[in-house]
């Protein structure tokens, strides 16, 4: 792989995590129930930089999973990944921790690509 997809302005995977973190909203019922835990999302950045498939690969609960999927779908268009000199669809995996010390925004971790 020559180049991973990047958000406008660069920043690599940390910028992707930050962009998702800004968009994820801790579900109110999860806050009321003091639910904490982890979910993991996988998504594809298409060759044109748009978001393609989005899948929860480790579920916490449906409302938390939905909040993560919505956040990923709201990401801006990426600069596409490059393989063999050509724009190519590339997957990202991002683990997300829902933790009540910051109930408005879940804490996010960085996952590996693919």
pLDDT exceeds cutoff 50 at 112: no
Which pTM does this prediction carry?
Answer: 0.84
Q: What is the pLDDT of residues 4-36, one digit of tens each?
A: 999 999 998 888 888 988 899 999 999 999 999
pLDDT exceeds cutoff 80 at 78: yes
Q: What is the pLDDT of residues 46-63, one digit of tens each?
A: 999 999 999 999 999 999
Q: What are the residue boundaries of the structural domains of the chain, listed by start?
A: 12-108
Q: What is the pLDDT of residues 94-106, one digit of tens each?
A: 888 888 875 455 5
The vertex-86 CA angle with 42 and 20, nearest 5°, equals 30
> Which two three-digit tokens encode residue 1?
């792989």
Taking a C-beta distance cutoff of 8 angstroms, is the pair 96, 109 a contact? yes
- Say which CATH class 12-108 falls into: alpha beta
pLDDT exceeds cutoff 50 at 88: yes
**Higher-scoring residue by pLDDT: 40, 110:** 40
Q: What length does the chain have?
A: 114
């Amino acid at each position: 792989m020559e180049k991973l997809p990047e958000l406008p302005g660069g920043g690599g995977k940390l910028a992707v995590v930050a962009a998702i973190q800004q968009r994820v909203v801790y579900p109110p019922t999860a806050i009321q129930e003091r639910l904490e835990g982890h979910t993991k999302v996988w998504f594809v950045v298409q060759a044109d930089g748009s978001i393609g498939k989005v899948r929860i690969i480790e579920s916490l609960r449906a409302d938390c999973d939905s909040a993560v999927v919505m956040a990923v779908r709201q990401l801006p268009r990426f600069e596409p990944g490059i393989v063999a000199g050509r724009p190519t669809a590339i997957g990202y995996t991002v683990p997300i921790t829902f933790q009540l010390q910051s109930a408005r925004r879940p804490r996010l971790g960085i996952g590996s690509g693919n």
